[in-house]
Copies of this chain bind each other. A is one copy, B any other.
């Protein structure tokens, strides 16, 4: 496929993608929740999230797009099509960030989608189907656990009420923060969840090193690996560090150490495909001169093969139960997502559009979770990755170049125009 093999309208749309405008929008959005060193801390349903939503709505109003919102606060910006009652094509991502996040994770997918809508306006292109840009509520899950709430509720996998008990670290209920956000956001109409969607596409920074290392600009994402999350709670007994004989101790930190050592053996993967992370470990009372009475840690497990995840999940329970005594232990699976496969036709379209536009492209799987993983079981879906410097993400140092961001938006424009014509 060459550039000429792009349809006329697609070529016209991509030509109107404005690299400077797209970059400027990123910089404007990064002011909401700005932290030192170019970082962003924009927690879901926080005042900064609301301010970012209102800013997007302001830009949408200036273009006369339609704004709607569903019961979980997913925000939709629609550019109408001329097909009456045609099912929309949808694109987007999320606007919330990690506590020490960067300027591109999530927000890029929303702004790339919005850039496509603006390019279509500027090019006076009329599509048959409406194109919706969606900003999903709480993808990160860092303030309100679990992440992916917005796309879970939209696709019917969960109900808003399922999260009624969820609170942030200040004790504030998710429901309360949601209500405040819904009230503060001025939309044209309410939108039902689970309405038909023709196809969903999501642009995102890779959050890994593959594109950069291989010299590719565009990643056509084939799917998202499956993941499991576990919470392990160990109960020991506190004692005085200076007096309690080691043999009589029920030291929760030492029990955690035994569990983690044995888990490293269980998780050994010479092919380095498994992603196994213990990122959180909390000791109680956490005092230098007191034997630990408690230890809790998280296990995050990701792999493209569900059978591998299933086997490892069992072995986690067995290894921990064996290693913990004389302490007590409780192992709970807190999250499970089976691997998602994206729609091959759209994945191929991403790759070929990229090549037609002169961008080196490859197909690759996603290591990170994305809302597109939820959408993949709801409608034809795919993702477009662009490189991020050093593969660094969830970090203030997260960086993508203006030209790579624009390249991703061009590929997105080409694909959406085709999908909206079908």
Task: Write the nearest CB–CB distance from A97 to chain B, whole angstroms.
Answer: 13
A242 & B279 in contact (Cβ 8 Å cutoff): no
Chain B residues, CB < 8 A from A280: 283, 286-288
Q: Tell me, yes or no, whether A418 is within 8 Å of chain B by CB.
A: no
A240 & B279 in contact (Cβ 8 Å cutoff): no
Task: Write the nearest CB–CB distance from A205 to chain B, whole angstroms.
Answer: 10
B261 & A279 in contact (Cβ 8 Å cutoff): no
Known contacts A100-B285, A260-B257; is-contact A367 B238 (Cβ 8 Å): no
Q: Which of A64-72, A310-318, A344-352, A388-396 contacts B (4 or more CB under 8 A)?
A: A388-396
Chain B residues, CB < 8 A from A248: 209
Q: Which of A48-56, A106-114, A269-277 contacts B (4 or more CB under 8 A)?
A: A269-277
A394 & B290 in contact (Cβ 8 Å cutoff): yes
Task: Write the nearest CB–CB distance from A139 to chain B, whole angstroms.
Answer: 12
A246 to B, closest residue via Cβ = B272
Known contacts A207-B243, A208-B240, A287-B98; is-contact A278 B261 (Cβ 8 Å): no
A273 to B, closest residue via Cβ = B245
Q: Tell me, yes or no, whether A195 is within 8 Å of chain B by CB.
A: no
Q: Tell me, yes or no, whether A9 is within 8 Å of chain B by CB.
A: no
Chain B residues, CB < 8 A from A245: 209, 272, 275
Q: Tell me, yes or no, whether A374 is within 8 Å of chain B by CB.
A: no
B368 & A243 in contact (Cβ 8 Å cutoff): yes
B261 & A246 in contact (Cβ 8 Å cutoff): no
Q: Tell me, yes or no, whether A131 is within 8 Å of chain B by CB.
A: no
Known contacts A207-B243, A368-B242, A393-B243; is-contact A288 B281 (Cβ 8 Å): no
Known contacts A209-B248, A272-B246; is-contact A392 B279 (Cβ 8 Å): no
Q: Tell me, yes or no, whether A123 is within 8 Å of chain B by CB.
A: no
A391 & B272 in contact (Cβ 8 Å cutoff): no
Q: Tell me, yes or no, whether A227 is within 8 Å of chain B by CB.
A: yes
Query: Which of A99, A207, A246 has the most chain B CB atoms closer than 10 A to its own CB?
Result: A246
Count, chain A residues at interface, CB 8 A:
61
Partner of A275 from B98, B244, B395 at Cβ < 8 Å? B244
Partner of A302 from B242, B253, B274 at Cβ < 8 Å? B242
A242 & B367 in contact (Cβ 8 Å cutoff): yes
The interface bits of chain A over 252-274 (1 if a CB of B lies within 8 angstroms of the residue's CB, else 0) are 01100100110010000100101
Query: Which of A274, A278, A289, A367 has the most chain B CB atoms closer than 10 A to its own CB?
Result: A289
* A113 CA to B279 CA, complexed, in Å: 50
A140 to B, closest residue via Cβ = B289
Q: Tell me, yes or no, whether A300 is within 8 Å of chain B by CB.
A: yes
Task: Write the nearest CB–CB distance from A105 to chain B, whole angstroms.
Answer: 9
Known contacts A242-B368, A391-B239, A394-B238; is-contact A277 B289 (Cβ 8 Å): yes
A288 & B275 in contact (Cβ 8 Å cutoff): no
The interface bits of chain A over 216-246 (1 if a CB of B lies within 8 angstroms of the residue's CB, else 0) are 0000000001010100000000111111111
Known contacts A239-B391, A242-B227, A243-B207; is-contact A277 B302 (Cβ 8 Å): no
Q: Tell me, yes or no, whether A292 is within 8 Å of chain B by CB.
A: yes
B276 & A239 in contact (Cβ 8 Å cutoff): no
* A9 CA to B110 CA, complexed, in Å: 89
Known contacts A281-B286, A288-B300; is-contact A368 B208 (Cβ 8 Å): no
A397 to B, closest residue via Cβ = B238
* A412 CA to B194 CA, complexed, in Å: 79
A141 to B, closest residue via Cβ = B289
Q: Tell me, yes or no, whether A115 is within 8 Å of chain B by CB.
A: no
5 closest cross-chain pairs (CB), A and B: A208-B243, A243-B367, A288-B298, A241-B277, A242-B367
User: Which residues in A have some Cβ–Cβ distance to B below 8 Å?
Assistant: 98-100, 142, 206-209, 225, 227, 229, 238-248, 251, 253-254, 257, 260-261, 264, 269, 272, 274-283, 285-292, 298, 300, 302, 366-369, 391-395
- A sample of 12 cross-chain residue pairs with beta-carbon separation below 8 angstroms, ordered by A number, consists of A142-B287, A240-B394, A241-B279, A242-B366, A242-B368, A243-B275, A244-B275, A244-B367, A279-B290, A280-B283, A281-B283, A290-B394
